[in-house]
Copies of this chain bind each other. A is one copy, B any other.
Amino acid sequence: MNQNLQKLRTAALNAGVDAYIIFNTDPHSCEYVPDDYLVIKQLCGFTGDNATVVVTQDFAGLWTDSRFYISGTQELKDSGVALMKSTESTFLAWLKSNLNKGGVVAFDGRCTTASVYFDIKKKLDPLGVVLNEKLDLSSSFWHNRPKPKISPVYALDVKFTGVSTPDKIDAIVTKIKAENADRLLTSDLAEIAWILNLRGSDISYCPVFKAFMLIGSDASAVLFTDNQRFDDSVAEYLKQTGVVVCDYDLVYAALSGLPEGSSLIVDINSANAELYLSVNKQCKIIERRSPVQLMKAQKNETELSNIRRTMIIDGVAMERFFYWLENQLNNNIQVTEIDAANKLLEYRTMGEGFISESFECISAFNQHAAMPHFAPSKSNNLLLQKDGVYLVDSGGQYYTGTTDLTRVIPTGEFTQDFSIDYTLVLKAMVDIAMAIFPDKANGCSIDAIGRVSLWRYGKDFGHGTGHGVGFCLNVHEGPVSISPGSTKTTFLPGMVTSDEPGIYIEGKYGIRIENLLAVQKSEYEGFNRFETLTLCHIDTRAVDTKLLNRDEIEFINNYNKRVYNTLSPFLSQNENEYLKKRTAAI
């Protein structure tokens, strides 16, 4: 019997609520939901990152996607909550079929976006269902809810960021005026950190801090956050920059107090529903993608040269790790997936400016690597063995940039199938890295340039080929992506994207090779190309050169040579000998 579910039902009954919805989201739509917003995990033990729960007096269901059908079924056993497959139904369709006129649906409007709220309203309004979007019932069953993390905040010098906060605010003001608006609201933590050149550690893997921000067309800036987190220097910096600091929760009151007749830009895909609904009804809301998104995505020259330096620091950690790993295996010293991930983190931690990992390390042997999002845990931690395949997808947050790379190495002998698949993935990765493309090209076109080599052999993979990457911010950053569905945004100079095709053979192995690329103008008018940023050798032992053309082979040899030449000054003699061998031309 699930006591928590029982308590929630009682609370719902007392509040006159027929159906209560819980989203797995925090007020800022963070990719990594902070502990104090893991309401669903608290209710029923489910840990997947895609989840929406609906609870009524006689039903409780959790909708999630196929990645979590197996683990979710185990976790939800005995929870009283049924696993609902999002491929078969949606929570909204369920509500439509199971609610009557006058029924009351409630949820915490801070924990879902305005855009999702509109979807719910559009579907349920015609049924005469009543929405209460201001009800948080989680306290009924979550008594020891963690306190929100209020981390110290520090400034990133303009030698890292390239542009000062006043200059960024000026650029935003231009965009606000272009929309004939009076103000911009942003609740995206990466946007706020970018604007203010400040970083924190409220959220795992992304150096940001919880805040909201209002910027006026007169360049006024109000920051809603916990004031106590600032030391004197940051407080002084904010003061000198003209940023007024208010309490975090005051943002809702501030929005309702906006001057009558004024206008406000809101990004409904990132702003939470309560923010949107708090805005003074006498204001005009202009729904737009936040103009900060595109500014932040186009890295300036200072950021790019910092990223290039970061790639050396990160690459040195990677090469030292691979050298260590090869020695362990050669000497028959046992290494588990977790051991390997820990060792890599140890080497990264020694790097200048290292802050944290940029996401949970995917350290995966053989069949584990066939699951693209696998991360080892105590109960699911393979020993690396001879004649297998090891995949490591990891990255770091540095004051000077964010890294993300994937490499695959054979731990001994390998099959011909593996050799073909490895070569095809490498070919796809290299073909995108070498591509020249019109400055209007979309992510779908770039995606096909890579996938076509796999398709030729009837192979494909189920994830995108690339995602944008922030500067000492989110490792997954909008708006661009390289994927078949990415037809709306184009690749502008300075944008950083990953390039990570893969092939996954269930129960056997997974291959993904990933570098970060920066968009650069090409030598041809109207065409752009990529600069490869990541610096870590690509293992060529399994490469079948018959599947590659001259340009691809030349690219791989030049790349490995560049890796050796750039990193070797920072490596020991032994490490250098190892890297020399591994970067020999094919």
Question: When the two chains form the complex, which single residue of B435, B444, B458, B523 contacts A445, counting CB atoms closer than 8 Å?
Answer: B444
Contacts of A527 in B (CB 8 A): 455, 458
Contact call B449/A436, Cβ cutoff below 8 A: no
Q: Is the CB of A448 within 8 A of B438?
A: no
Q: In the assembled complex, which residues on chain B have CB atoms less than 8 Å from the CB atom of A446?
A: 448
Nearest Cβ in chain B — how far from A238, in angstroms?
45
User: Interface 1/0s, chain A 508-548, versus B by CB < 8 A?
Assistant: 00000000000000111111000000000000000000000
Contacts of A549 in B (CB 8 A): 549
Given contacts A442-B484, A549-B549, contact A436 B448 (CB under 8 A): no
Q: A484-B441, A484-B445, A487-B444 are in contact. Are A435 and B458 (CB under 8 A)?
A: no
Contacts of A254 in B (CB 8 A): none
Q: Tally chain A residues at the interface, Cβ within 8 Å.
A: 31
A456 at the interface (CB under 8 A from B): yes
Determine whether A451 belongs to the interface, using a CB cutoff of 8 Å to chain B: yes
B-chain residues with CB within 8 Å of residue A525 when the two chains form the complex: 458
Task: Name the distance in Å between A565's Cβ and chain B's nearest Cβ.
Answer: 26
* Any B CB within 8 A of the CB of A212: no
| A268: min CB distance to chain B, Å | 22
- Of the candidates B448, B460, B484, B524, which one forms a contact with A458 in the assembled complex, judged by CB atoms under 8 Å apart? B524
A444 partner residues in chain B, CB cutoff 8 A? 442, 444-445, 448, 484, 487
Please tell me if A337 contacts chain B, counting CB pairs below 8 Å.
no
Docked Cα-Cα span, A436 to B456, in Å, equals 5
* Residues of the B chain whose Cβ atoms lie less than 8 Å from the Cβ of A456: 435-436
Considering only residues 128-154 of chain A, those with a C-beta below 8 Å from chain B are none
> In the complex, which residues of chain B have a beta carbon less than 8 angstroms from the beta carbon of A445?
444-445, 447-448, 451, 484
Q: Which one of B448, B485, B524 lies within 8 Å of A449 (CB-CB)?
A: B448
Asked if B452 contacts A435 (CB within 8 A), the reply is: yes
Those of A392-451 within 8 Å (CB) of chain B: 431, 435-438, 440-442, 444-449, 451
Among residues 476 to 524 in chain A, which have CB atoms less than 8 Å away from a CB atom of chain B? 484-485, 487, 522-524
**Which B residue sits closest to A456, measured CB to CB?**
B436
* Min C-beta distance of A460 to chain B, whole Å: 6
> Smallest Cβ distance from A456 to chain B, in angstroms?
5
Q: Give the residues in chain B near A460, CB-CB below 8 Å.
A: 438
* 4 residue pairs, one from A and one from B, having the closest CB atoms: A458-B524, A445-B448, A448-B448, A444-B444
